Amino acid sequence: MIQRIDVSRGHGYPLLLGATLDELGGHLKTAYGTSGHYLLITNDVVAGYHADKLLDGMKDLKTDLITVPDGEQEKSLDRISKLTEQALQFKADRDTVVLALGGGVIGDLSGFFASIFMRGMRYIHIPTTLLSQIDSSIGGKVAVNHPSGKNLLGSFYAPQAVWTDFDTLQTLPWQEMRNGLAETIKHALVADPDLFEFIEEHADAIKGLDYKIIKEMSLRSLAVKVKIVTEDEKEKGNRMLLNLGHSFGHALETEEAYQGVMHGEGVSIGIAAAANLSRERGLVNDKQLDRILNLLMKMDLPTTAKAHDRAVLLGHMSADKKNKAGNKVLILPVGIGRSVIAADCNDEEILRAWEKVII
Amino acid sequence: MIQRIDVSRGHGYPLLLGATLDELGGHLKTAYGTSGHYLLITNDVVAGYHADKLLDGMKDLKTDLITVPDGEQEKSLDRISKLTEQALQFKADRDTVVLALGGGVIGDLSGFFASIFMRGMRYIHIPTTLLSQIDSSIGGKVAVNHPSGKNLLGSFYAPQAVWTDFDTLQTLPWQEMRNGLAETIKHALVADPDLFEFIEEHADAIKGLDYKIIKEMSLRSLAVKVKIVTEDEKEKGNRMLLNLGHSFGHALETEEAYQGVMHGEGVSIGIAAAANLSRERGLVNDKQLDRILNLLMKMDLPTTAKAHDRAVLLGHMSADKKNKAGNKVLILPVGIGRSVIAADCNDEEILRAWEKVII
């Protein structure tokens, strides 16, 4: 049975949860008729696991497949340029609907492509990873990276729908599952103390890949995201809280040219850095700091980074989208289950936070 | 005195007409206060003529200047990438306001950049050419080119305001004036038979650079654009009419890699091709066809192109944004002062239209 949750007020769209991949074709026929053109964009790894099942349900729909290499380095203007060429070869036009099958990279890349190709075509996100199911597929933020910084070029561009088949998680390697767990722990720290306790209590079940528990955790985690983005679609206020750990994490990803630390690893280290800064300011106590670091480590997520020049990392943080009038804006946890936007962080305390997490 | 015309209904914005460049600073202070950050983007030619005057009025506002080379070839993803780097060096953030000083290329490039940098910053267009004042600054369409086609990657992204100083036309070379005249004649053919007659009657005054006549013509021409885009912001219907001449013209521009035929020249040849196709269909008679071709020629605009492989040009037309389900959609003049959207053009008659304009 498909569960429907509507995201946002204005240009709202539904999350369709618990659907299976082969049912999508039927949904598309109902929504758009049988004469439309679809461009399925995915990566070579996801294609191997899931493309056949999805295409099985689309046999009588005109669907062309574009496969891009796996990896964060594909979120680039170069890849956008190549997609443009390929889409034209398939005679895509403004009425074509993009189907983005994959995780956060595919969602961001395909969504941004859909937002600018011929000034905008429709897209449907079919998230196949924990990270994309509970986080990146929700909220209409799409972007590519730039050598100067993560997600620097993008749009707010809502999909027509998000089609979430939780069964795809069963093919997800633990390394990718961890990526999503970092964002889940972030959601808990931003707005849901009960979710934090749930993950603590069921840590072994989650590591043991108990998909019933993982699904329950996912539903609670995505509910945090839906609530926040519905209240603040364009990230003028509280939506910035969802950037907890990302200012530090993006700096690491940028420094390693999106080919070193994984996104979830960067977020995890970033949460550790932000929690240390919170500790210095007295926003969390020692016990709370330990609970945060321990839960990350329990999930095999890193809380320290390999050696980098802290001043260079600080420099990358200048390209953060939250910054205002040249000042760095950070998100800091307050106890367990609440966070705040701090616009008054000075470079010295940020450097001290980096010192805590760099070996 | 500044004349104000509001464009569109939803996210409307004002055209502020008859303002002078040095008055912009005062307007910005009233609108945004004195603490904001401005990024003035222009090209090296326009900077020489107009940047000083504009900056004179902005002395107590924090303004950084980015100058790009002149020319259509700058409307590229590569230039977007360089602008990103430069904007970060000037510590631009989401609150920075872009000032786009120049013609259609600068407006399209800077507007598209503003639409995607950090997922969107505000911009104000300060058009300095006839083409941009009467056409491209109105309607919120921004884009860059791709080797496969003109304006293929872009957004609908409205400026905060358009600041139009008609005096800038007095530094405009005739070659650039012609570019705008092609679009003015297009506006007349799409929706305003009286404007067509006005240009015919005052052709000598226009060629003699009678700026009073040119200003009157401009106001009438931009009124056509305002009316059409207000009724159809997203180009779902009648706004497509404004593409008269552009399907053929873009194909020429693409074939010459944006470095051969100028945009207005392409449009002029495109109007000639479309008018010939209309003649074949009986939508215009011989006399009307002659009037159209004669007025273009009178304004030193080309009605024929140098030799190209027609099949290749036809291929480029496959990348046209108006196309539907693989079919080419063209705009065809009907008599003088009205045009229609034709979704039923076959390749043979398009090839015959090309034949009429290729020497």
List the single residue in A95, A141, A156 with the smallest CB-CB distance to B324. Answer: A95
Residues A120 and A193 in one domain: no
Residue A303 binned pLDDT confidence (cut-offs 50, 70, 90): very high
Residue B302: predicted pLDDT = 97
Residue A69 binned pLDDT confidence (cut-offs 50, 70, 90): very high
B183 near B190, Cβ under 8 Å? no
Q: How far apart are CA A88 and CA A83, in angstroms?
A: 8
Q: How far apart are CA B239 and CA B262, in angstroms?
A: 23
Strands B3-7 and B13-17: antiparallel
Residue B9: predicted pLDDT = 67
Residue with tokens 């970060």: B88
**In the predicted model, is pLDDT for residue A10 greater than 80?**
no
Residues B183 and B149 in one domain: no
Reference A299, options A164, A174, A123; nearest CA is: A174
Residue A260: predicted pLDDT = 87
Number of compact structural domains in chain A: 2
Q: Is B324 on the interface with A (CB under 8 A)?
A: yes
Positions of B marked catalytic: 119, 141, 183, 225, 235, 239, 243, 246, 250, 263
Residue B10: predicted pLDDT = 67
How many residues comprise chain B?
359
Q: Residue A40 has which token pair?
A: 């399925």
Residue B126: predicted pLDDT = 98
Residues B188 and B167 in one domain: no
**Which residues 116-155 of chain B have a CB within 8 Å of chain A?**
116-120, 141, 143, 146-149, 152-155
**In the predicted model, is pLDDT for residue A238 greater than 70?**
yes
Residue B236: predicted pLDDT = 86
A298 near A203, Cβ under 8 Å? yes
Residues A21-37 pLDDT 10s? 999 999 999 999 999 99
A166–chain B nearest CA distance, Å:
29
Residues A190 and A255 in one domain: yes
Q: Which helix (H) or strand (E) holds B145?
A: strand B141-146
Provide the mean pLDDT of chain A.
Answer: 95
Mean pLDDT of B93-106: 97
B94 near B144, Cβ under 8 Å? no
Strands (E), chain A: 3-7, 13-17, 37-43, 62-68, 97-102, 122-127, 141-146, 149-156, 161-164, 330-333, 339-342
Mean pLDDT of B160-186: 96
Give me the residues paired with residue B14 across strands.
B6
Q: What percent of chain B has pLDDT over 90?
A: 90
What percentage of chain B's residues is helix, strand, coil (to nearest 5)? 55, 20, 30
A129 is in an annotated binding site: yes
In chain B, the largest separation of any two C-alpha atoms, in whole Å, equals 61
Residues B145 and B182 in one domain: no
Would the CB atoms of A324 and B118 count as touching at under 8 Å?
Answer: no
Residue with tokens 């080797």: B147
Residue with tokens 């202070």: B29
CATH number at residue B130: 3.40.50.1970
Residues B119 and B220 in one domain: no
**In the predicted model, is pLDDT for residue A252 greater than 70?**
yes
Residues A188 and A334 in one domain: yes
**In the predicted model, is pLDDT for residue B16 greater than 80?**
yes
A13 near A6, Cβ under 8 Å? yes
Q: How is A42-98 classified by DSSP, letter by letter? A: EEHHHIIIIIHHHHHTTTTSEEEEEEE-SSGGGSSHHHHHHHHHHHHHTT--TT-EE
Partners of B116 on chain A (C-beta within 8 Å) are 116, 153-155
Q: How far apart are CA A271 and CA A241, in angstroms?
A: 12
Residue A100: predicted pLDDT = 98
Residue B167 binned pLDDT confidence (cut-offs 50, 70, 90): very high
**In the predicted model, is pLDDT for residue A61 greater than 90?**
yes
Alpha carbon B354 to its chain's center: 23
Domain extent for B190: 174-357
Q: How far apart are CA B13 and CA B34, in angstroms?
A: 21
Residue A336: predicted pLDDT = 98
Using only C-alpha atoms, chain A has a radius of gyration, in whole angstroms, of 20
Would the CB atoms of B146 and A84 count as touching at under 8 Å?
Answer: yes
Residues B53-66 pLDDT 10s? 999 999 999 999 99
Mean pLDDT of A140-147: 96
Q: How far apart are CA B49 and CA B68, in angstroms?
A: 15
Residues B256 and B136 in one domain: no
SS3 of A101, please?
Answer: strand
> Please, which residues have CB within 8 angstroms of residue A139's CB and are 6 or more apart in sequence?
A7, A8, A225, A229, A233, A239
Residues A161 and A187 in one domain: no
Residue B354: predicted pLDDT = 96
Q: Which helix (H) or strand (E) holds B149?
A: strand B149-156
**In the predicted model, is pLDDT for residue B245 greater than 80?**
yes
Q: Which of B171, B201, B225 corresponds to the end of one domain?
A: B171
Q: How far apart are CA B131 and CA B268, in angstroms?
A: 13
Q: Which of A152, A171, A190 corresponds to the end of one domain?
A: A171
SS3 of B64, please?
Answer: strand
How many angstroms separate the Cα of B145 from the Cα of each of B77, B107, B108, B216? 8, 13, 10, 32
Q: Residue A288 has which token pair?
A: 């709370």
Residue A12: predicted pLDDT = 85
Reference B308, options B274, B343, B273; nearest CA is: B273
Residues A78 and A134 in one domain: yes
Mean pLDDT of B65-73: 95
**In the predicted model, is pLDDT for residue B113 greater than 80?**
yes
Q: Which of B171, B205, B226 corresponds to the end of one domain?
A: B171
Residues B303-337 pLDDT 10s? 999 889 999 999 999 888 888 877 899 999 999 99
Residue B341 CB neighbour total at 10 angstroms = 15
Amino acid (1-letter code) at residue A104: G
Positions of A marked catalytic: 119, 141, 183, 225, 235, 239, 243, 246, 250, 263
Residues A346 and A232 in one domain: yes
Residues A160-177 pLDDT 10s? 999 999 999 999 999 999
**In the predicted model, is pLDDT for residue A96 greater than 80?**
yes
Provide the mean pLDDT of chain B.
Answer: 95
CATH number at residue A265: 1.20.1090.10
A263 is in an annotated binding site: yes
What percentage of chain A's residues is helix, strand, coil (to nearest 5)? 55, 20, 30
Residues B229 and B334 in one domain: yes
Q: Residue A222 has which token pair?
A: 């995505």
Reference B187, options B315, B295, B50; nearest CA is: B295
